[in-house]
Amino acid sequence: TAFEVKRTQLVYFDVAATGRTTSAVRMTVYDANNAAVLTLAARGGQAAGADALLPPGTYTVRFAAAEQGGGPLSALQF
């Protein structure tokens, strides 16, 4: 998912996950140079949030999910 920031602003991001506590989701915000500007992670049943001061530009948000120990990913919603 991509979005554009027209002027420098403080943006609050949050991610929450439902499912087993052995599963987790990671959300990373990248700038136009593909540099990570913010990473949040939440295990099943948890939430995480943080502010990021973003200068003007285009940003991309990517999500990745994993199961502890590298096993098959259980049902996970985020």
Per-residue pLDDT of 24-52, as tens digits, reads 999 999 999 999 999 999 998 899 999 99
The amino acid at 63: F
Q: Where are the alpha helices (DSSP H) in the chain?
A: none
SS3 6: coil
pLDDT of residue 47: 94
What is the pLDDT confidence band of residue 21, given thresholds at 50, 70 and 90? confident
